[in-house]
Chains A and B, each alone.
Chain A
Amino acid sequence: MAKLFVTLILLLPLLCNCFSSENPTDRRILVLLDDLGIKSSHSIFFRSLQSRGFELDFKLADDKKITLQRYGQYLYDGLILFSPTVERFGGSLDLSAVMDFVDSGHDLIVAADVSASDLIRDIATECGVDFDEDPAAMVIDHTSYVVSETEGDHTLIASDDFIQSDVILGSKKIEAPVLFQGIGHSLNAANNLVLKVLSASSSAYSAKPGAKLSSPPSLTGSAISLVSVVQARNNARILISGSLALFSNRFYRSDVQKAGSSTRHEKSGNEQFVTELSKWVFHERGHLKAVNVRHHKVGETDEPAMYRINDDLEYSIEIYEWSGKSWQPYVADDVQVQFYMMSPYVLKTLSTDQKGRYFTSFKVPDVYGVFQFKVEYQKLGYTSLSLSKQIPVRPFRHNEYERFITTAFPYYGASFSTMAGFFVFSVVYLYNK
């Protein structure tokens, strides 16, 4: 067994081959629009992306020349669908092409709106987001609507029910409520990949504005999600919003006063909210990588091919987070390593030196078999880390047991005294007379 059968299965680079391990942030983004007017009406959003270094490629959604890949290579790292009404994309793009784009590790922003097309709904469904079936329905809220001159139908709502995550929404608190006007969606509770970033208040419901409610609305209360994000298993990120206007210059600049609240904010929270969220979606934040997984016996430095039961070993790993420009040490106190064979035999929280290195030491359990060092780190908003490294643990060799055991001395005594007795007996029997 000179050859060591130890592998390092880094699921992260394996699955998302599109994120270059050096620079996970997206660069080239295709923006599909219903009409080119959106380019100017949402210019602040686009400009903020461009100022952060993204190359935006604007196309009409029914442009015949749209293509995501050429010669098997994707031309873009991200896709923004600001085309809620498009029934069919032009060119080679269709539902499955969009999904393949995501499944190969690329990011997506989808904005729906009232009377969103089936195509956009299907894309959302594929990602685990169900828009209200009723095509005319909007989110209506009679308590947290935006106060304006005209008493509207309360479809322009101001929400400040954000997800509690610094990674997704940035560390700076969003003070002003976010303006929203559009359709709501619901999430499957069993789906652990999708997160509700902005949810409606408990008094909201989804119905056709101005029409009489004949039956209870299908979506009510805080179950309605206004903006959701999805992080797929390959760490591709998707942002789905029920409102295209959320990104618009008009909402960005609008002052906002929530009904029932006396404070009037000069500027809505939209700009901050959308900017921070787009940073997250395009992997400028919350992207982790793990490198330099090492383990060895205490007092040694070389990685063995195999441990023996009851060995003492040291394990270390380095975890970095992408800051948008460079890899920074990731600091947390909840990274755990498992020594795993069908179930974790050892589960230890790693200590960190604040420079990205996590380490621990433990004793190999008194069980032999093929174990794995497993790090399964799934934290809200961060890309998931899932590493496993196989290592066999062998029992004692035949000469590694204790040669003499104290408790067995009576037996040693017995056998030696028998031998001596036999010898004496033989002498006496043979030579006596």
Chain B
Amino acid sequence: MAALEYGGATTLRHAFGSVLCFFILLLIGVLAFSIRLFSVIKYESVIHEFDPYFNYRVTQFLTKNGIYDFWNWFDDRTWYPLGRVIGGTVYPGLTLTAGSLWWLLNSLNIPLSVETVCVFTAPIFSANAAWATYLLTKEVRGTGAGLTAAALLAMVPSYISRSVAGSYDNEAVAIFALIFTFYLYVKTLNTGSLFYATLNALAYFYMVCSWGGYTFIINLIPMHVLLCIVTGRYSSRLYIAYAPLVVLGTLLASLVPVVGFNAVMTSEHFASFLVFIIIHVVALVYYIKGILSPKMFKVAVTLVVSIGLIVCLAVIAVLVALVASSPTKGWSGRSLSLLDPTYASKYIPIIASVSEHQPPTWPSYFMDINVLAFLVPAGIIACFLPLSDASSFVVLYIVTSVYFSGVMVRLMLVLAPAACIMSGIALSEAFNVFTRSIKFQLPGIPENSHSGAGDTTSGSATIKNDAVKSEKHSSTDKKEDSLKERPSKKNRKKEKEPVEKATIKSQVEKKLLALPLEMSVVAIFLLVLLGALYVVHCVWAAAEAYSAPSIVLTSYSHDGLHVFDDFREAYAWLRHNTEVDDKVASWWDYGYQTTAMANRTVIVDNNTWNNTHIATVGTAMSSPEKAAWEIFNSLDVKYVLVVFGGLVGYPSDDINKFLWMVRIGGGVFPHIREPDYLRDGQYRIDSQATSTMLNCLMYKLSYYRFVETDGKGFDRVRRTEIGKKYFKLTHFEEVFTTHHWMVRIYKLKPPKNRIRGKTKKSKAGSKTSSTTSSKRAGRRKNPWH
């Protein structure tokens, strides 16, 4: 009777817990979505930054022309005159996601514009990512940890920085895909179900579609498998979790055009194949061990090891030879710079020039993951207390992602979910301990059930410990064991399933963690305070730091808010005042925006696939006017666009990026030498600057007529007066300068209609020099100097 009643109570309680859990998750989703809307509220519903504009343009194309045209899209508006095969060089996951969202909404008669869908894709998917985090953490360490981790992830600043409304970039969906793939892997590992294994491969496929970061998955999971094998945790569940993923995942990955044969040809993927072989060998060994007597097994081992060693050596030799024959040893530049952080700055200026590829500074850790940085170690310890397959996986995840985030600031994004999971585990464990202590010591509850309740909840760690122990003992058939383990996990919440716990109880009783009441209360208060600090910081980061769309800038000064909308002003000018087939040259940062907003052909854009082409533009920008004109003319360029921040103090302008242009240009065209632009190793544009610097096109286009603004030519970014103030342009003419001078557009002058004779008059001499001699031998003195 009592048992029945009791059972009813637990069911009710369980149901109540599920409903509560569901609503908490719903609220977390709402939180994740709404915290990312600051940019829309503060600015407007607009696509942000650079890459999102490309994605937006691709999505527009997709919604207009359908998937097959998208797949085969040859874009003749970028990389003139090379063009770009967009369908084969883009990760289509994001585009397809937003495209299907749009299609779905439209077929439900909800007429949203493509832009709106694109703007809100990232917030929607961060809600998904929060839920995926819940699932993953729940698999690792129960519902409580899951909810905490999901709540933390919903507002972790690092992730917000890449997923505010309008930040329509691959990472927006890729982080969800990443966490979800991990969840399915851990789920398969826990259940050993082939169904989840297949889902896992599909999730992996979605990740491959979405982001180049999928190589993280295909290296992390083999690492974990190897770790399990080495630590003697091999089981059939591990095999089921891994083998289908490699086979199906690789097959599916090679279906993505941008990956294609890379899925089997590049070194990034080799680790997975190697582990695939190893796991088969291990499986075979276990199988043989099962059917042979121990003595026979020993003989077989020596036999196989000797032969296997030879075969392995041969295979490795072939692999090494294959890999060594390629110049980059089969690794792409970005991956190499992951392994050797100094690689990019040494060899590939084009990778090093991107600010998000730089190593992060210490403050950026505090900025991006805030208090999580302190909670992560606690989480790692909590994971070790009962080390299961799943928790060892998240430990491995956090360790590798910490390393990668230290290499590239952009990969902070991969660290953020791991940090959230770890902190979630740590927080929930801590709360568990403290609340239990309070509950245990409160005088009102010392009922007959108290010891049991205290035991099971407090001892959840130890129970698991035991489970793991037993798991170790009977490593051959894990299946039943794990099935046993899972109900036992559930039982923790039900608090009472006295049948088999009875034996454990007695062992555990003495290990009971009972802290003093006051201490627990204070600790809980402190933890809540910590959480509150985190929330405050996250909201601040979302509202202030990360929601600027970067195409519209604002600044506060004593006389109020200033809005700098120069970029859109310039692009609108281009769209309305130039021919549809005119080519616009600019540094590659502005390529995507020019094609998307101005709808004009560009020479280079943010997809940096052709180093030579970028170097050509860099060379033109760092050449004297005439040489630059010749380069641009040979590329049919009509307009040159430069971004100049000297008037309003906008620091990321072309003059500050100029050294990268010189470096990238000089990497291909050796006559551009970086020391020519530096005075004693210093980059300067004042009167001490070198004449090469003062005569290069970038200087001239940036500072042309600049002295007319304040009479002195004071550059507010470099905080100095410019070196050469009065000069004229012979081969370019200014056609448009935006309100705050942030974007300046120049037109190439056509060649002179006539060629002058060579009179000796000094007045005429200057004009002739530009046209009479076609050769530019040596460095001619600028006539206006």
Q: Which of A1-48 contact B (CB under 8 A)?
A: 1, 5, 7, 15
Q: Which residues of chain B are near A1, meaning CB under 8 Å?
A: 65, 69, 73
Question: What 1/0 mask marks residues of chain A from 351 to 374 whose CB sits below 8 Å from any chain B CB?
Answer: 000000000000000001111100
Residue in B76, B581, B751 whose beta carbon sits within 8 Å of that of A233 in the complex? B751
Q: Which of A88-105 contact B (CB under 8 A)?
A: 99, 102-103
Q: Which residues of chain A are near B85, meaning CB under 8 Å?
A: 368, 394-395
Q: Which residues of chain A are near B72, meaning CB under 8 Å?
A: 394, 397-398
Q: Which residues of chain A are near B71, meaning CB under 8 Å?
A: 398
Q: Which residues of chain A are near B752, meaning CB under 8 Å?
A: 233
Nearest residue in A to B581 (C-beta to C-beta)? Answer: A7
Report the minimum CB–CB distance from A367 to chain B (whole Å).
Answer: 9
Q: Which of A65-113 contact B (CB under 8 A)?
A: 99, 102-103
Residue in A187, A234, A372 whose beta carbon sits within 8 Å of that of B753 in the complex? A234
Question: What 1/0 mask marks residues of chain B from 42 to 76 whose CB sits below 8 Å from any chain A CB?
Answer: 00000000000000000000000100110111101
Q: Which residues of chain B are near A103, meaning CB under 8 Å?
A: 753-754
- Asked if residues A230 and B754 are in contact (CB atoms below 8 Å), the reply is yes
Q: Which residues of chain B are near A233, meaning CB under 8 Å?
A: 751-754
Q: With the chains together, A283 CA to B660 CA distance in Å?
A: 52
With A102-B754, A234-B753 known as contacts, the answer to whether A392 contacts B759 (CB < 8 A) is no
With A368-B85, A395-B74 known as contacts, the answer to whether A130 contacts B580 (CB < 8 A) is no
- Tell me if A128 is interfacial: C-beta within 8 Å of chain B: yes
- Asked if residues A368 and B74 are in contact (CB atoms below 8 Å), the reply is yes
- Asked if residues B756 and A370 are in contact (CB atoms below 8 Å), the reply is no
| Residue total for B at the interface (Cβ-Cβ under 8 A) | 37
Nearest residue in B to A391 (C-beta to C-beta)? Answer: B76
- Tell me if B474 is interfacial: C-beta within 8 Å of chain A: no
- Asked if residues A126 and B756 are in contact (CB atoms below 8 Å), the reply is yes
With A190-B774, A369-B83 known as contacts, the answer to whether A394 contacts B753 (CB < 8 A) is no
Q: Which residues of chain A are near B576, meaning CB under 8 Å?
A: none
Residue in B68, B634, B750, B756 whose beta carbon sits within 8 Å of that of A125 in the complex? B756
Q: With the chains together, A394 CA to B82 CA distance in Å?
A: 10
- Tell me if B131 is interfacial: C-beta within 8 Å of chain A: no
- Tell me if A236 is interfacial: C-beta within 8 Å of chain B: yes
With A394-B74, A398-B72 known as contacts, the answer to whether A369 contacts B753 (CB < 8 A) is no
- Asked if residues A188 and B634 are in contact (CB atoms below 8 Å), the reply is no
Report the minimum CB–CB distance from A370 to chain B (whole Å).
Answer: 4
- Tell me if B442 is interfacial: C-beta within 8 Å of chain A: no
Q: Which of A116-145 contact B (CB under 8 A)?
A: 124-130, 133
- Asked if residues A370 and B83 are in contact (CB atoms below 8 Å), the reply is yes
- Tell me if A174 is interfacial: C-beta within 8 Å of chain B: no
- Tell me if A49 is interfacial: C-beta within 8 Å of chain B: no
Q: Which residues of chain A are near B87, meaning CB under 8 Å?
A: 398
Q: With the chains together, A371 CA to B81 CA distance in Å?
A: 7
Report the minimum CB–CB distance from B752 to chain A (whole Å).
Answer: 7
Q: Which residues of chain B are near A194, meaning CB under 8 Å?
A: 755
- Tell me if A405 is interfacial: C-beta within 8 Å of chain B: no
Q: With the chains together, A390 CA to B601 CA distance in Å?
A: 12
- Asked if residues A232 and B754 are in contact (CB atoms below 8 Å), the reply is yes
| Residue total for A at the interface (Cβ-Cβ under 8 A) | 41
Report the minimum CB–CB distance from B410 to chain A (whole Å).
Answer: 31
Q: Which of B749-766 contact A (CB under 8 A)?
A: 750-760, 764
- Asked if residues A188 and B772 are in contact (CB atoms below 8 Å), the reply is yes
Report the minimum CB–CB distance from A72 to chain B (whole Å).
Answer: 19
Q: With the chains together, A1 CA to B60 CA distance in Å?
A: 11
- Tell me if B325 is interfacial: C-beta within 8 Å of chain A: no
Residue in B82, B579, B634, B754 whose beta carbon sits within 8 Å of that of A128 in the complex? B754
Question: What 1/0 mask marks residues of chain B from 231 to 242 whose CB sits below 8 Å from any chain A CB?
Answer: 000000000000
Q: Which residues of chain A are near B634, meaning CB under 8 Å?
A: 342
Q: Which residues of chain A are near B204, meaning CB under 8 Å?
A: none
Q: With the chains together, A124 CA to B83 CA distance in Å?
A: 46
Residue in A188, A234, A390 whose beta carbon sits within 8 Å of that of B755 in the complex? A188
- Asked if residues A342 and B81 are in contact (CB atoms below 8 Å), the reply is yes
- Tell me if B80 is interfacial: C-beta within 8 Å of chain A: yes
Q: Which of A276-311 contact B (CB under 8 A)?
A: 306
Q: With the chains together, A234 CA to B753 CA distance in Å?
A: 6
- Asked if residues A128 and B755 are in contact (CB atoms below 8 Å), the reply is yes
- Tell me if A191 is interfacial: C-beta within 8 Å of chain B: yes
- Asked if residues B754 and A370 are in contact (CB atoms below 8 Å), the reply is no
Q: Which residues of chain A are near B109, meaning CB under 8 Å?
A: none
Q: Which of B557-586 contact A (CB under 8 A)?
A: 579-581
Q: Which residues of chain A are near B579, meaning CB under 8 Å?
A: 7
- Tell me if A341 is interfacial: C-beta within 8 Å of chain B: yes
- Tell me if B773 is interfacial: C-beta within 8 Å of chain A: yes
Q: With the chains together, A369 CA to B71 CA distance in Å?
A: 17
Q: Which of B735-759 contact A (CB under 8 A)?
A: 750-759
- Tell me if A56 is interfacial: C-beta within 8 Å of chain B: no
Report the minimum CB–CB distance from B520 to chain A (whole Å).
Answer: 58
- Tell me if A223 is interfacial: C-beta within 8 Å of chain B: no
- Tell me if A313 is interfacial: C-beta within 8 Å of chain B: no
Residue in B74, B635, B759 whose beta carbon sits within 8 Å of that of A306 in the complex? B74
- Asked if residues A125 and B580 are in contact (CB atoms below 8 Å), the reply is no
Report the minimum CB–CB distance from B143 to chain A (whole Å).
Answer: 39
Report the minimum CB–CB distance from A76 to chain B (whole Å).
Answer: 18
Residue in A127, A306, A394 whose beta carbon sits within 8 Å of that of B754 in the complex? A127
Q: With the chains together, A314 CA to B756 CA distance in Å?
A: 41
Q: With the chains together, A125 CA to B772 CA distance in Å?
A: 13
Most buried by A among B71, B73, B76, B82: B76
Question: What 1/0 mask marks residues of chain B from 84 to 112 whose CB sits below 8 Å from any chain A CB?
Answer: 01010000000000000000000000000
- Asked if residues B772 and A191 are in contact (CB atoms below 8 Å), the reply is yes
- Asked if residues A341 and B81 are in contact (CB atoms below 8 Å), the reply is yes
Q: With the chains together, A115 CA to B446 CA distance in Å?
A: 127
- Asked if residues A128 and B757 are in contact (CB atoms below 8 Å), the reply is yes
Residue in B80, B83, B755 whose beta carbon sits within 8 Å of that of A191 in the complex? B755
Q: Which residues of chain B are near A125, meaning CB under 8 Å?
A: 756-757, 759, 764
Report the minimum CB–CB distance from B390 to chain A (whole Å).
Answer: 31
- Tell me if A331 is interfacial: C-beta within 8 Å of chain B: no
- Asked if residues B80 and A370 are in contact (CB atoms below 8 Å), the reply is yes
Nearest residue in B to A124 (C-beta to C-beta)? Answer: B757
- Tell me if A193 is interfacial: C-beta within 8 Å of chain B: yes
- Asked if residues B81 and A370 are in contact (CB atoms below 8 Å), the reply is yes
Nearest residue in B to A16 (C-beta to C-beta)? Answer: B753
Q: Which residues of chain B are near A129, meaning CB under 8 Å?
A: 757
Most buried by A among B65, B68, B73, B754: B754
Residue in A15, A128, A369 whose beta carbon sits within 8 Å of that of B756 in the complex? A128
Q: With the chains together, A190 CA to B775 CA distance in Å?
A: 10
Report the minimum CB–CB distance from B620 to chain A (whole Å).
Answer: 14
- Asked if residues A193 and B755 are in contact (CB atoms below 8 Å), the reply is yes
- Asked if residues A188 and B83 are in contact (CB atoms below 8 Å), the reply is no
- Asked if residues B758 and A130 are in contact (CB atoms below 8 Å), the reply is yes
With A342-B634, A398-B72 known as contacts, the answer to whether A368 contacts B83 (CB < 8 A) is yes
Report the minimum CB–CB distance from B202 to chain A (whole Å).
Answer: 21
Q: With the chains together, A191 CA to B579 CA distance in Å?
A: 32
- Asked if residues B580 and A193 are in contact (CB atoms below 8 Å), the reply is no
Report the minimum CB–CB distance from B778 to chain A (whole Å).
Answer: 17
- Asked if residues B753 and A102 are in contact (CB atoms below 8 Å), the reply is yes
Q: Which residues of chain B are near A306, meaning CB under 8 Å?
A: 74, 76
Q: Which of A372-408 contact B (CB under 8 A)?
A: 372, 390, 392, 394-395, 397-398
10 residue pairs, one from A and one from B, having the closest CB atoms: A394-B74, A392-B76, A370-B81, A130-B757, A397-B72, A125-B757, A191-B755, A103-B753, A128-B757, A7-B581
Complex A-B: 23 CB contacts under 8 Å: A5-B580, A102-B753, A102-B754, A103-B754, A124-B757, A125-B756, A126-B756, A127-B757, A128-B754, A129-B757, A187-B757, A188-B772, A191-B755, A192-B755, A193-B755, A341-B81, A341-B82, A368-B74, A370-B76, A370-B80, A370-B601, A371-B81, A392-B83
Q: Which residues of B contact A (CB under 8 A)?
A: 65, 68-69, 71-74, 76-77, 80-83, 85, 87, 257, 579-581, 601, 634-635, 750-760, 764, 772-774
Sample of 9 more A-B contacts, CB < 8 Å, known A128-B757, A188-B758, A392-B76: A5-B580, A99-B754, A102-B753, A191-B757, A192-B755, A234-B753, A236-B753, A368-B74, A370-B81
